A and B are shown apart, each in its own frame.
Chain A
Amino acid sequence: QKEVEQDPGPLSVPEGAIVSLNCTYSNSAFQYFMWYRQYSRKGPELLMYTYSSGNKEDGRFTAQVDKSSKYISLFIRDSQPSDSATYLCAMSGGYQKVTFGIGTKLQVIP
């Protein structure tokens, strides 16, 4: 079993839709949960990180962590074609190496 599981997609949604991206994990030591956006042939861009359980909002993006279920989510409201990219979830204990999901490819159709 992989430490971090993420559906690779692709996920296609119409412009304006609410997008839900998810990851599950198995390592209870993970305390920090990150979401990265990666455009084709580019490096990942940090969208946000959260500590432990709870929600964090930044503009159209909301990250949710449920440690009891070992489940994290990223919601994108009012999705735009420019949101089309691969979204990577990532986790760490804080100062240890980061473990990444495989990434979910998202396509927002105008």
Chain B
Amino acid sequence: GAVVSQHPSRVICKSGTSVKIECRSLDFQATTMFWYRQFPKQSLMLMATSNEGSKATYEQGVEKDKFLINHASLTLSTLTVTSAHPEDSSFYICSARVPGQGTYEQYFGPGTRLTVT
């Protein structure tokens, strides 16, 4: 399967600061990447779809000014959590869709554990 990396794997930040998470497709070019949140004992929730060279599409209820997504190249998408608060603490996971395939074939990064104190 395709390989997706994510950095950092975990981060602790103070309330009010911003945090950037990187998602990279290592062995394929991903025109589309996805950002998810996962809370304990809950389903993966799609936050936004990131398309290379265009604005991200956010799911209903996700604040686009708080969760800034940039997909500047075919192998890199970034998620910046701005003015983080304790309720933003979660497990953030990105995925990348294989070119030419649908959303049924997407590969996930290892995730980033964000803790806001």
Q: Which residues of A come within 8 Å of B, CB atoms? A: 4, 8, 32, 34, 36, 41-46, 49, 51, 88, 90, 92, 94-103
Contact = CB atoms under 8 A, between A and B. Distances in A.
Contacts of B111: 41-43
A40 to B, nearest CB: 11
B108 interface: yes
25 contacts: A8-B41, A32-B102, A32-B103, A34-B104, A41-B111, A41-B113, A42-B110, A43-B93, A43-B109, A44-B108, A45-B1, A46-B107, A88-B43, A88-B44, A94-B103, A95-B103, A97-B34, A97-B46, A97-B59, A98-B46, A98-B103, A98-B104, A98-B106, A100-B44, A102-B42
B1 A46 contact: yes
B104 A43 contact: no
Given A41-B113, A43-B93, A46-B1, A100 B43 contact: yes
A88 to B, nearest CB: 7
Contacts of B1: 45-46
Nearest to B5: A43
Contact of A96 (B41, B91, B103): B103
Given A49-B105, A92-B102, A92-B103, A102 B43 contact: yes
B6 interface: yes
Interface residues of B, number: 25
Interface of B: 1, 4, 6, 34, 41-44, 46, 49, 59, 91, 93, 95, 102-111, 113
A94 B102 contact: yes
A1 to B, nearest CB: 14
B12 to A, nearest CB: 15
A45 B95 CA distance: 10
Contacts of A101: 43
Given A97-B46, A102-B43, A43 B6 contact: yes
Given A44-B108, A51-B104, A92-B104, 5 more contacts: A32-B103, A88-B44, A98-B46, A98-B106, A103-B43
Given A97-B49, A100-B43, A103-B43, A43 B102 contact: no
